[in-house]
Structure 1
């Protein structure tokens, strides 16, 4: 039985998703990606040093979103209690 006749070739790969995250969360997000097989998830991290200048976080996020908005239909932001 070929892969196509078994329906394997017909399965759609998920669309790429971008997660823009605080660099302090990179290890945890990579763990989730690997343990769940989320190969479609791409991550860009903003420097964790922005914890020292939290007023710059929105600007840096906006810049990163604008830089990648043409390449991804879905962009998520992963921040926790950064800047408080």
Structure 2
């Protein structure tokens, strides 16, 4: 959960800095936005790795068939 909150905070920061750049187009605002964008991309990557790590742990458990059935059922209902 902490990874998800950190990801959301970084993405929100990137969005707000982009709006700051749009209202005041300076090189400093652009640099801050680009740094925030890189940080947000890293946070999203960490969140993806954590998510897939959890999925892999669930697949290794004894309830593999039930987990796969549940995921398939969720995907087919969407």
TM, length-normalised to structure 1: 0.26
Name the structure, 1 or 2, with higher relative contact order (CA <8 Å, separation 6+): 1
Higher strand share: 1
TM-score (norm 2): 0.27
Name the structure with the higher helix share: 2
